[in-house]
Structure 1
Amino acid sequence: MLAALAILAYVANDKGRGGGKRPNEEYNAAIERVVGGFFRGIGRYIAGRDLTGEPHSTATWWRSGIRTDGGDSVGDVPAPSAAGPPVSLTKPGAGASPALRSLLLPFRVLASMGRSLSAWGCWPHAARSLVRLAPFPAAWGLWRHPHLTEAVLIGAAIVVFLVAFSGPGGFAWWTPRTPTDDELLGPAVWAGARQLLRLDENEPRGKWLRLDADLSAEGTRIVLRLPLEWMGGKDSMGALQHVVDTRVPGEWVARWERSGSSQYVQWTRKPQPPAKPVLPGHVEWKPTGNRFEVFVGQAIEGDRVVDVRVQTQSATPHWGVGGDTGSGKSTVLYIPIVHGRQHGELIDILDTKQNSLIEAEGHSGVRVHKTVRSCIGAFAEFMVSMMAAETAMGKDAAPGARAQLIPRLLVIDELPTLIKMAYVWWRYGLKGKGTPPFLDWFSIILLQGRSSDHRIVVGTQQFANTFFGGTMERAQIGTKIVVGLQDRISWGVAFGQSTPVIQYDTTVKGRGAFADKQQAPDADHLFVREFQPAYITPRVGEYLAACPPAPAWFDAGEIAPWITGDILKEADLVAAVGAFLPGGQYGPDRPSSVTHAVAAGETPSSTSSDRVTPATGTARVTPRVTGAGAGGESAEDAALPDTYSLAEACAAGIVPWKHSTTRQYKKRSEERGIAFPEGVTDGRTTYYTEEELKDWTARWQESTRT
């Protein structure tokens, strides 16, 4: 009856709007729409579906869903300032005492039931249909069989409360089904993709778009089928990618299939970059068993940590370590010393610091030179030994000459300091004129040492060309290692200005970088790797003591037996070395020799060589390794003056002007014919004595008064 009245009212209303001029078929269509809508509403009511409009959730007949309408009003969206604390996944009162939790349990259950009722639109259609139809049989039962119906209703209520008490709000024996990623994210992706693909609103999402249930799983995919008529240019493809990037968490990589009968785009999760390898803070040194491979530590290459071996049989056989004072470069120099001795090499160490390589002293096959005179004498002897070895390996050499040869290694610690001190010694100690030949010897050894098994390892503050005699000579330093903090200038000098600086933890002792003339895989510059040198210092004495003894002539400080008189004369003519060899005009009074190692149980400060001099009553400590300077240091060696760069002299007040002003006065004085001191240079900076600078200052000031 009510339905008939509704139909008549609608028809009359529609007829009134039309003025009675519409044909009969329009009235029939209107009646059909009303009747059809009425019966569709009844069907939706019985089936548990939404009565009007599009579905508000992804629920199906047997499965609950999630809201898809985003709320009913703008007020459902929280304001930015209204953001509260993150939602807790624990039950309310979980941290309370057992008694309090028991007291709060009924309230939590009621709250859980309230939340379930508020989520009515997400219930399975079967459950909603049951709730909607339940009042009709209940009303009929209360009318015809009241007692039985009351019992059934009480039982149903008990079941509902038992389910609620065992659910998430109570004992949490069961939890609701977790929505899949397809349910959560699929509608948002489809809303954007459908517009870009120009598909009809009624097209089902499942026909075109598929998201895996768990997009965080390994190998998960998002697949979107493409209409054959969709042109999809670069901009459209980028727009689809933007939809996925902005509506699906994570990073996704697209693979487009546009050439077959089935066209689609598939997104897979961008693989996580491999974890960056981390160098250990300590690397134990280990022998390689190969004389031409020196294990020096570990480095990072790509996504792995690898052992680093210096190849000394290459076209660039020499290598070096750079770093500021205290960075640990002297510690790294123990490695070639131990490796060389284990393979029978003879080691000469030039150590003007006099204590940086103390662990290597007192062992057969290792001569340590500590004074400038001793260092330059050893330098000269090493170069002559190299020239003699070249001759001994020639076709015209005397029979048996080659058999005498023994590989040799020259280790120079603090190269710039040695060069500076050598130049000061030459100019102010020896009163020498012109340029001394020291850097020329160095250049010759770097260029020719490999073929005669005479190699060099240097420790230096910086790999500047001037310290090595030039660009060509420095290029023979095949492997360059830097340790500690490096400024941009020193980095560029070592590896090239175009080589990017790599970051490493300078708080780790010895941490640095190395390059061995390999080109970077994807760039036009050196391949520089983060590097951690091996730590060998505590076992240096143990390793050296276990090595076979060196020839007696070496430990006694004599020159190599393959250096003949003819070779010595030729070397003196070519490189002016004769005067600097032991016994020469500028050479040490006696050669460097190796004393006995410290006995077991003794320390360097309490060896048997400590004696009390009766004349003075003071203790005198004799070093375990005696260089030429230890017993043959001349007066000019001990009385070398201090030298200053121009900037240092200005800062110290030796020159009464600022550095910039002093440079201007220096230029003007040279223009007026007032000679500026020649000074000495280490190849990069010129140094002057205090007396020279004060003399020039007085002459310049006198010239300005006249």
Structure 2
Amino acid sequence: MDVISFLTGGAGVGGVVLVVLLVLMAAIHGGGGGGGKSGSGDVNRRIEAGAAALGAGIARYLGGRDLSGPPRSEATWWRAGAPGPDDRRTETPVTALGARAVDRPVEKARRGLLRVVGGSLAGLWRCLRAWHRWPRAARSAVRLAPLPVAWGLWRAPDAVVAALVVLAVLAVAAALSGPCGLRWWSVAPVWSDGQVYGPGIWAAARQVLRLEEDELRARWLAVPDDLAEAGARIVLRLPVRWVGGPEGVAAIERIVDARAPGEWDAKWVRTEREHYVQWTRKPAPKKRPVLPDFVPWKSTGDPHTLFLGQAIEADEIVDAVVRTETATPHWGVAGDTGSGKSTVLYMAVVHGRQNGELIDILDTKRNSMRQAEGASGVRIHKTVPECIAAFGEFLTSMMAAEAAMEKGADPALKAGLISRTLVIDELPTLFKLAYCWWRYGLKGKGAPPFADWLGIILLQGRSSKHRVRIGTQQFANAFFGGTMERAQIGFRINVGQTDRVSWGVAFGQSTPMLGYTTDVPGRGAFSDKRKAPDGDYMWVREVQPCYITPDVPHLLAECPPAPQWFDSGDIAPWITPEILEEVDRTAAVLDFLPGGRFGPVPRAGATRAASVGGTGYPPSSGPIAPRGVAPGVAPDDAVAGGPGDGALGDAAIPEVYSLAEAHAAGIVPWKPVTMRSYLKRGEERGIARPEGITDGQTKYFSEAELTAWLAAWKAWNSKDSAIAKAGK
């Protein structure tokens, strides 16, 4: 077939004559045998078939197509075809595959004339051998060329001969100066994506689809010339008889994934008249926006809508706001020390004061909220007794406000109600110190009543306009009293570096972590009880809170002044003696209020008092009065351990240690696991376990407790050893 193809391409008219002779010989040869009508019918059929084959051959000849067999290249009328991937004559040597190409200039002095001529002739021969890759227009022109040449030789032989000589000289000159000769010029082959990737995809897909080798690729597979073009598609026709199944579908998709550059989405169509699968380019992912490093504070003018900063939602930067009217009345921020919790809490203070709220801040660190000190409408409580007293007064105020809003209540009390906000900075620290104060300072037994106050406020505070803002290291259940209470913290923010455990506690174990940067101060993530659009888990968004800290003093100074009773340290005017007594019976708050057995001394000049005890207390911005005796109680009748006892001061509260901290400090000689085992053995031997305190997660002990237990343990072991020796 190569000889026929060569002759028909190069011989022109001779090729036509050869084709005609072959067809006639086939017809005559097939006419032998048989006779009569049957023989004549066979001859007629053969003549008709031969005529049809002759017509098809002439059409293919004139159209520049191959005269027999399937197309050997992808050449079209105007475009040359690229060699196949398995064409040995055009393949790259194995040693050169993947090697870095080096551009080396040709040294003409070392190239002999014989080598140049030989290379040129070899180049011409390779060009002729690549006849099947010529554009069809060029092949058709070569095949039809003998007719005009013959006519020219008949009519003007001298001119035609001269033209042929010029063409031959130009061809030789082009070969001598081309890439196979002197390399004065070179034309890089144009490879389309269809030519490069189509054969590889087809070779693998044909085997999976179990198609014959002689099937034309153009019928089954379409690979565009430019895969990067908009709307580019790879289409593969599927045989109806192909069963496929999950394994076959996966195999076809793997072929395109492995042999076509880029990422593609497959769409299978097998329920229509023709079955096929098409691949389209996956849309380029949207560039994720970057939050600014600094967001200025702005007021919303709505008491129930706080501007927090800017967040990323659906690849867009939007304003992040906290809505506290319904679903998220209380909110909190979690993070390590120095992560920016106080900055976020300052926004709650400023927003509350701008909308006429009264703010109580519990700050056992004494300096984390100092920018708000001295401002009207803001009371900061630093010592443990002051914090617990403010805690109890806030609970009482909430329950009194609920009573004032009842039907039939005093209209004057209802008209005087003011929204209040309790800001707790470092909630775990407050609870740990409060437990130490209760256990070691007050020598209290059992669980203190204030442990449940926070849960009551979280559950009932919204209806009475008493809301809580919490700063904590982690949103663990133990700090809030339980799952139900913690759920009231609807708006949660994590700032700074967050570990997997803290993330799961705040947003749920199934919520994927965000990879936000921790290099920007205050950067974090928040959720507001909404489910994610793409899953059944909490919707968490990256957020950059406002940096409001330097502006807090002058923003608070611009707010309207608070009522005199609040700044002077009095309790809320809607707390009547009857309500105070009722709340004390249900929540045991009276002993912890200012002037109570365990409360701080009321501030001098506090005017409001109830018959059951004093009710005023100082903000931290004013001097703290020396401890004394509750108003109305004679010094001789003061309760031991009450406010007149200096042992209740913060300095008298001993430091407590977890078992790990006690081992690190050298108080106990064993690691926590061994120590817990010995504590259990000690109980079996009659050695009482130290009571200690707990913050809901970790047990803490004073040094005196651990030292006493260790002495009892050693004494028992010595006694046991003496008994064992005496027995021997």
TM-score, with structure 1 as normaliser: 0.76
Are 1:504 and 2:516 an aligned pair? yes
Query: What's the CA shift for 1:581?
Result: 2.0
Hey, what's the Cα distance between the residues in 2 that align with 1:295 and 1:656?
52
| Residues 312-356 of structure 1: per-residue CA shift (max 9 Å, x gap) | 122552111112222222221112111111111111111111111
| Partner AA of 1:234 in structure 2 | G
Conserved 8 A contact 2:297-2:307: yes
2:377 alignment partner, one of 348, 365, 368: 365
User: Is 1:60 paired with 2:76?
Assistant: yes
Q: 1:404 deviation in Å?
A: 0.5
Cα separation, partners in 2 of 1:593 and 1:72, compared to 1, 3 Å: farther
Pair 1:220-2:232 in alignment: yes
CA gap 1:360/1:593 in 2 versus in 1, 3 angstroms? farther
| CA contact 2:341–2:495 (8 Å) conserved in 1 | yes
Q: Does 1:234 align with 2:242?
A: no
Instruction: Report the residue type matching 2:715 in the other structure.
Output: E
Residues 337-348 of structure 1: matches in 2 within 5 Å?
Answer: 337-348=349-360
The answer as to 2:471 corresponding to 1:459 is yes
Partner residue, 2:657: 644
What corresponds to 2:459 in structure 1?
447
CA distance in 2, matches of 1:159, 1:673: 113
Of 705, 713, 723, which aligns to 1:700? 713
Alignment of 1:20-31 (within 5 A): none
What is aligned with 1:85? 100
Alignment of 1:550 onto 2:540: no
Contact 1:557 1:592 (8 Å CA) reproduced: no
For the structure 1 residues 356 and 178, does the alpha-carbon distance in structure 2 shift closer, same or farther, using more than 3 Å as the test? same
Deviation at 1:274, TM superposition (A): 3.4
Amino acid of the structure 1 residue aligned with 2:411: P
Residue in 2 that maps onto 1:406: 418
Work out whether 1:350 is the aligned partner of 2:362: yes
Q: Per the alignment, do residues 630 and 126 of structure 1 end up closer, same or farther by CA in structure 2, a change over 3 Å counting?
A: farther
How many Å apart are 1:682 and its aligned residue? Answer: 2.3
In 1, the alpha carbon distance for the partners of 2:429 and 2:399 equals 26
Q: Which residue matches 1:586?
A: 598
For 2:716, the aligned partner's letter is: S
**Which is bigger in relative contact order (C-alpha 8 A, separation at least 6)?**
1
The answer to whether the 8 Å contact 2:267/2:277 transfers is yes
Question: Could you give the per-residue CA deviations for residues 165-188 of structure 1, whole angstroms, max 9, x where no partner exists?
Answer: 9xxx9899xx87955444444455
**Structure-2 change in CA distance of 1:410 and 1:177 (3 Å):** same
Separation in structure 2 between the aligned mates of residue 254 and residue 494 of structure 1, nearest angstrom: 40
Unmatched 5+ residue regions in structure 2? 1-10, 26-31, 40-51, 108-118, 607-617, 629-642, 720-728
Point out the more displaced range, 146-155 or 455-464.
Answer: 146-155
Letter in 2 for 1:57: S
SS at match of 2:582: helix
1:544 deviation in Å? 1.7
Select 1:684's aligned residue among 679, 693, 697.
697
Is 1:666–2:679 an aligned residue pair? yes
1:485 aligns with 2:500: no
Q: Which shifted more, 218-227 or 468-477? A: 218-227
Residue 374 of structure 1 is matched in structure 2 by 386
Report whether the alignment pairs 1:625 with 2:621.
Answer: yes
Q: Is the aligned partner of 1:436 residue 2:451?
A: no
CA distance in 1 between partners of 2:510 and 2:270 (Å) = 41
Structure 2 residue matching 1:307: 3-state secondary structure: strand
Q: What CA distance in whole angstroms lies between the structure 2 residues aligned with 1:448 and 1:39?
A: 97
Q: 1:276 to 1:146 in 2, by over 3 A?
A: closer
Aligned partners of 2:603 and 2:625 also within 8 Å:
no
1:254 Cα offset (Å): 1.9
Structure 1: gaps of 5 or more residues: 15-20, 26-35, 94-99, 101-110, 595-621
Cα distance in 2 for residues equivalent to 1:478 and 1:523 = 19
8 Å CA contact retained: 1:390, 1:452: yes
TM-score by length of 2: 0.74
Instruction: Name the aligned partner's letter for residue 557 of structure 1.
Output: G
Structure 1: distance between partners of 2:209 and 2:694? 76
Aligned equivalent of 2:434: 422
TM-superposed CA distance for 1:233, in Å, is: 4.5
- Give the aligned partner of residue 618 of structure 1: none
Structure 2 CA distance for partners of 1:256 and 1:330, relative to 1, 3 Å: same
Q: Once structures 1 and 2 are overlaid, which stretch shifts more, 340-349 or 659-668? A: 659-668
Which amino acid is 1:699 matched to? A
C-alpha distance in 2, partners of 1:180/1:662? Answer: 75
2:486 is matched by which residue type in structure 1?
A: R
- Distance verdict in 2 for CA 1:681–1:83, change over 3 Å: same
Give identity over the alignment, percent. Answer: 53
CA deviation profile, 1:1-23 (whole Å, cap 9, x unmatched)? x999xx9xx99xx9xxxxxx999
The amino acid of 2:455's aligned partner reads S
Secondary structure of the residue that 1:655 maps to in structure 2? coil
SS at 1:462 equivalent:
coil
1:256 to 269, 285, 288: 269
Report the 3-state secondary structure (helix = DSSP H, G, I; strand = E; otherwise coil) of the residue aligned with 2:463.
helix
Q: CA RMSD in A?
A: 5.1
For the pair 1:494 / 2:473, whether they are aligned, the reply is no
Q: What is the 5 A alignment of 1:552-571?
A: 552-571=564-583
Identify if the C-alpha distance between structure 1 residues 208 and 593 changes in structure 2 by more than 3 Å, giving closer, same or farther: farther
Question: 3-state DSSP class of the match of 2:457?
Answer: helix
AA matched with 1:465 = N
* C-alpha separation in 1, matches of 2:625 and 2:482: 30
Q: Which residue of 2 aligns with 1:598?
A: none
Q: How big is the shift at 1:289?
A: 2.5
CA distance in 1, matches of 2:675, 2:561: 57
Structure 1 stretch displaced more, 644-653 or 272-281? 272-281
* Distance change >3 Å, CA 673–CA 383, structure 1 → 2: same
| 3-state SS of paired residue (1:400) | helix
* Amino acid in the other structure paired with 1:221: R
Residue 632 of structure 2: aligned partner: none
Asked if 2 retains the 8 angstrom alpha-carbon contact of 1:323 and 1:461, the reply is yes
Determine the C-alpha separation between the residues in 2 that align with 1:451 and 1:403: 16
Distance 1:427 1:126, change over 3 A: closer
Amino acid at match of 2:531: Q
Change (3 A) 1:494 1:203: closer
Cα deviation code 1:399-449 (max 9, x no counterpart): 221110110000000011111111222233333344322212222212211
1:612-643 CA distances to partner (integer Å, 9 max, x unpaired)?
xxxxxxxxxx9982374899995622332221
Going from structure 1 to structure 2, the CA distance change for 1:232 and 1:511 (only over 3 Å counts) comes to same
Structure-2 change in CA distance of 1:573 and 1:62 (3 Å): closer
Matched residues in 2 for 1:623 and 1:389: separation? 22
TM-superposed deviation, 1:452: 0.8
Match of 1:317 in 2: 329
Distance 1:683 1:179 in 2: 71
Residue 46 to residue 72, structure 1, CA distance change in 2 (3 Å):
farther
Q: Deviations over 1:173-226 (max 9, x none)?
A: xx8795544444445555556666677766655555544443322222344556
Matched-pair contact (CA < 8 Å) for 2:345–2:423: yes
What per-residue deviation string (whole Å, max 9, x for no partner) do you get for residues 149-179 of structure 1?
5995599579969x989xxx9899xx87955
Residue 72 (str. 1) matches residue 88 (str. 2): yes
Secondary structure of 1:469's aligned partner: coil
How many angstroms apart in 2 are the aligned matches of 1:290 and 1:116?
Answer: 86
Give the aligned partner of residue 135 of structure 2.
124
Tell me the amino acid that sits aligned with residue 60 of structure 1: T
Cα distance in 2 for residues equivalent to 1:533 and 1:430: 41
Give deviations 1:101-129, integer Å, cap 9, x for gaps. Answer: xxxxxxxxxx9999898665544344467
Q: Secondary structure at the match of 1:527?
A: coil
Return 640-649 or 125-134, whichever deviates more.
125-134
Q: CA deviation at 1:476?
A: 1.6
